[in-house]
Structure formats: structure tokens, C-alpha cells
Amino acid sequence: MTLVVDPPEGWRYGFPKAIPKGYMKMSWDDKKKWYIEQGYPKSEIDEYGEFFVISMWDKEDEISEQDLGHWEYYGSPFDPDDYFGFIYLITCTDPENPKRYIGRKQFHQYRKGKDRVVSNWKTYSSSSKHINTMVEELGSDKFKYEILQLFETKGGLSAGEVKVQWELDVLTEKYPDGTPVYLNRQIGAIKFIPKEEVNEETRERLSRIASGIREERKDKEGLTDSEEEGITTEEKSDKES
């Protein structure tokens, strides 16, 4: 899903459009500048004044039509040169072998003292021997390759992969018959199948904690700069007293 925004009569100027990163925290002047950069006339923004009311909603993402090799990506077209790499999901669509794998891949190779070169990311089929063996046995048409998220930095990519793998419990998630859902055999430095799992009660508690944090962030994003500054000042006073 992608959050999109549509200003008054936005269809005349190519709206709705996906909101840029950090939109919710932008000042009105920055938002106004963004609308103008997107082709919306400054004169109309000024004319609407306080009645410049926008609509926002989640829009179903569509598969990107750019050349991504065998990868699918549900998002806006992008330039691989602007990113370090991506986290991916490989799914075996054979009903007799419903397996998955979460991994990461760089868009470029970096060698000391040399210019970066484009990697084999378009045809890459994972570093997993298990996945590659299955591809050889079943054929590549039985596999779906999906880019989950793009990352601009090496650190972000490495941490993101581990985060997603933990979130999905790739080491312990099983089907009712006891067979593993994922073919991942390690998460970061964890190269064994844990004998204990996080129980359902803890999962629910973590979910409530995450929901509470999201609500706190929403409340904070809704404050004006002066209100937020006031809260910060109050917090400071409390600590000093």
C-alpha cells in the first residue's frame, strides 16, 4: 500500500501522487513547495488559501513495469544507482513444495581502488543452496522473485534483512505437518534452529507495545512546532525539579 495525496482538482495536474518521505513532519511552506514542484500552480494554492483541503488514502501498489529482470516490485519506478541494494522474498509456487526465502542483494559490486560495477542482481537467484537446487529441479517458472524494500545504505540493508527475518520467524515458522516454511538457515550470526520460540502471549504484548508507540508518534506528529516545544520544555522542567 502507498499513501497518496490529492489536492483540490488535483487530477488536472497529475494527482493523486505518493507523498514524499517525511511529508507528515513538513512545515506548510515545505509542503507548498513540494506541490509546486509536482506541477500544482502556486496561484491556485494561494487562491484556495485556508480552503486548500487535501485528501489522503492508501492506494494499492501496482507492479513496476521497468526492467527488473525476474524481480517484481510493488512500488514506483526507481533508479538502481540511487540505492545500495534491496531485501527480497523468493517463493516457490509449486503446491507440493511451498517454500520461501528472505535475503538481500546489492545493486553494485565495490572493489577497493576501482569504480563500482553493476552486479548480477537482475538474474540473481539467492545464495541459498537449497533454493538454487530447487530451481534446478523444478524450473525457474515455479518461483516468484519479489523486491520487498530498497535501501540506500549498506548498514540499512544489513540491519533491514535481519529485522525482516526475525519478524517472520524464518528459523522456526512451520506448516501444520511440521515442515519449515522458510529455507533460511541463519539470521545474522544465529546459525542454528532455536529450541525455544517467543510465545503467543509475548507476541501479543509486543504488538500492543508497537501499537502504543505508533499512536504516540501520531499524536506527536499532529502537534504544532510551538506545542511540541512546550512539551519538551515541560519535560525538561520535570527532570530538573
Which ranges in the chain belong to alpha helices (H)? 28-37, 42-48, 129-138, 154-167, 200-221, 225-240
Span 152-176, pLDDT tens digits: 998 889 888 988 888 888 888 888 8
Which pLDDT value is given to residue 166?
87
Nearest to 19 by CA among 3, 30, 6: 3
- Asked whether residue 181 falls in the same domain as residue 97, the answer is yes
Give residue 54's pLDDT band: very low, low, confident or very high (50, 70, 90).
confident
Residue 231 has pLDDT above 90, yes or no: no
What's the whole-number mean pLDDT along residues 184-193? 72
Q: Which residue has the cell 502504543?
A: 212
Higher pLDDT, 222 or 103: 103
- Asked whether residue 91 falls in the same domain as residue 49, the answer is no
Residue 204 lies in a domain: no
Which pLDDT value is given to residue 210?
67
The verdict on pTM exceeding 0.75 is no
What's the total number of domains in the chain? 2
- Asked whether residue 17 falls in the same domain as residue 89, the answer is no
Range of the domain at 79: 71-199
Residue 205 lies in a domain: no
First-last CA distance in the chain: 46
Q: Do residues 190 and 171 lie in contact, with contact meaning Cβ atoms separated by under 8 Å? A: yes
Cα angle for residues 77, 80, 84 (degrees, 5° grid): 130
